[in-house]
Amino acid sequence: MGTSLTLFKVFNIEVRVHWSFVLILIYGAFAYAGSDSNVLFGSLYGVLVILLLFVCVTLHEFGHALVAKYYKVNVPSITLLPIGGVASLERMPDKPIQEFLIAIAGPLVNFVLAVLLLPLCFVVYNLDTRLSGAPLTLNNLLGIMQTATPAGLVIYLTITNIALALFNLLPAFPMDGGRILRALLAMTTSYVQATRIAVFVGRIMAVLFAIWGIAGGGGIFMLLIAFFVYVGGGSEREAVESRAVLKNVLASQALTHNAAKLYTSERVNRAVELVMNSYQTDYSVLDLSGKFVGVLTRARLIQALNTVGSDARVVDVMVPAEQIPICSPRQSLAEVWEKMAESGSRDIAIKEGSEFLGLITVDDISEVFQVVGAVMNSTTPPQTPSSAPQPSGATNA
């Protein structure tokens, strides 16, 4: 996603705008620069049109986000891009009906906005003396919405909200329509199979979008959407298939029982020795009584070497235990992976009550995934992606 600027925060959801958003503002300015005799007025009008359009897009994403939060799915942010918006869900909902309602909420918001704007359309249409006597046909409306007038602005927003709702309902996974399709399929088949079918249909739609863009009907924006659908669908399919593998493995099975540990009394140079003589990257840190007090990650180790040197104490550069998420040994690796995504941590402390059993890292999950996936592939048709999973929040566009 690159660099994004946070605009505001509502319902504990950050609304961000990607740096590339400026491109769509420039496009709007150029698109309307010639629609009025005053080029500056036309350009400013074009920027206003884009800004109001993305207010509608933001409300669309809040439709997804608020329904998701109702089902206890955290949504940390909404990011606005030149091709639309993305509401970032930390995990997928538990039931297909929940995904169905989350997905359909966005287009429903656009339909509601269009209905609310309709009376205003009739008002501005009748007040505009240039339109008096002109029949209220679709062709006339499409012509009016290209003009830099109040009537053009209101009609543009009304028609665009209807178009946004209908376009998002196309079965192009991971767009809303594709998620609706997956949710309906998941009611009668496995979640993995439903995702595969939805991705296959979505990729057909992506090819059609690309053809449309190349033929001149949608231009560069349609090509970008086609790319997003094709790549995004494949990424989510891999995530779903990865979760299907990991949910059959308990956290206790992924623990490395002979993993090296560090103590608060030791220096950073001890960690350097361990790194040089093993493949282990993150180390649990214990106090002299054997209590888990933190983790020294590779990133913290490198930072310490660059800033304070190898004689620094481990306790001074480690990540405190309070910042490390905790899981039970009886939880599945899928749950551990989701907790990593929610917390942004690459390490999970496995505890049985107050007893610290060990540390599970992203690298541990990747290794288990590759081994279990290979076993499944050797006995059944391919069920898993070729690459190891990395924790990331689910997205809903």
What pLDDT digit, counting tens, does each position of 262-285 carry? 999 999 999 999 988 888 889 999
Q: Amino acid identity, residue 356?
A: F
Whether residue 14 contacts residue 76, with contact meaning beta carbons closer than 8 Å, is answered with: yes
Q: Measuring CA to CA, how many Å separate 105 from each of 12, 58, 111, 368? A: 19, 13, 10, 37
pLDDT of res. 8: 94
Mean pLDDT for 95-103 is: 96
pLDDT at site 367: 85
Residue 345 belongs to a domain: yes
Least confident of 123-132, 237-246, 308-317, 379-388: 379-388
97 in the same domain as 241: yes
Same domain, 178 and 264: no
Does 282 lie in the same domain as 206?
Answer: no
386, part of any domain: no
Rounded to an integer, what distance in angstroms lies between the CA atom of residue 183 and that of residue 99? Answer: 6
In a domain, 372, yes or no: no
pLDDT of residue 396: 41
Of the chain, the percentage scoring pLDDT greater than 70 comes to 90
What is the distance between the alpha carbons of residues 390 and 245, in angstroms, rounded to a whole number? 13
**Domain identity same for 261 and 221:** no
pLDDT band at 150 (very low <50, low <70, confident <90, very high): confident
Residues 124 and 12 in one domain: yes
pLDDT band at 218 (very low <50, low <70, confident <90, very high): confident
| Same domain for 91 and 213 | yes
Whichever domain contains 275, its CATH number is 3.10.580.10
- The neighbouring-strand residues paired with 131 are none
Question: Has residue 384 been placed in a domain?
Answer: no
Residue in 53, 22, 124, 90 with CA at minimum distance from that of residue 342: 90
Q: If DSSP codes are grouped into helix, strand and coil, which group holds residue 371?
A: helix
Q: Which residues, 6+ apart, have CB-to-CB distance to 46 below 8 Å?
A: 28, 29, 30, 31, 32, 33, 35, 148
Whether residue 201 is found in the same domain as residue 182: yes
Q: Does residue 163 sit within a domain?
A: yes
Instruction: Determine the average pLDDT of the residues in 329-345.
Output: 89
Query: Residue 63 in contact with residue 105, Cβ under 8 Å?
Result: yes
User: Which range among 166-170, 211-215, 280-284, 380-384 shows the weakest confidence by mean pLDDT?
Assistant: 380-384
**How many domains does the chain divide into?**
2
Please state, in angstroms and rounded to a whole number, the distance separating the CA atoms of residues 274 and 300.
15
Single-letter residue type at 328: S
What gap in Å lies between CA 89 and CA 24, rounded to an integer?
25
Domain end among 246, 281, 308: 246
Query: Do 221 and 353 fall within a single domain?
Result: no
| pLDDT score of 383 | 41
Domain that holds residue 257: 251-364
Q: Please tell me which residue, 129 or 321, carries the higher pLDDT value.
A: 321
Residues 155 and 211 in one domain: yes
Determine the residue type at 310: S
Q: Name the one residue in this structure whose structure tokens are 């080029």.
A: 39
Per-residue b or e along 219-230, where b marks 16 or more CB atoms closer than 10 Å to that residue's CB: eeebbbbbebbb
pLDDT tens readout for residues 240-262:
888 888 888 999 999 988 899 99
Count how many residues are written for the chain. 397
**CA 298 to chain CA mean position, Å:** 27
Cα 65 off chain centre by: 11
Per residue in 372-390, pLDDT tens? 767 766 655 444 333 333 4
104 and 224 housed in the same domain: yes
Q: Are residues 213 and 173 in the same domain?
A: yes
Asked if residue 228 is part of any domain, the answer here is yes
* Final residue of a structural domain among 177, 212, 246: 246
Cα–Cα distance, 397 to 387 (Å, whole number): 24
33 inside domain: yes
385 part of a folded domain: no
Of 221, 246, 271, the residue that ends a domain is 246
**Cis preceding linkage at 320, omega within 30:** no
Find the distance separating the first CA and the last CA of the chain, reported in whole Å.
13
Whether 235 and 273 map to the same domain: the answer is no
Q: Which amino acid is at 49?
A: V
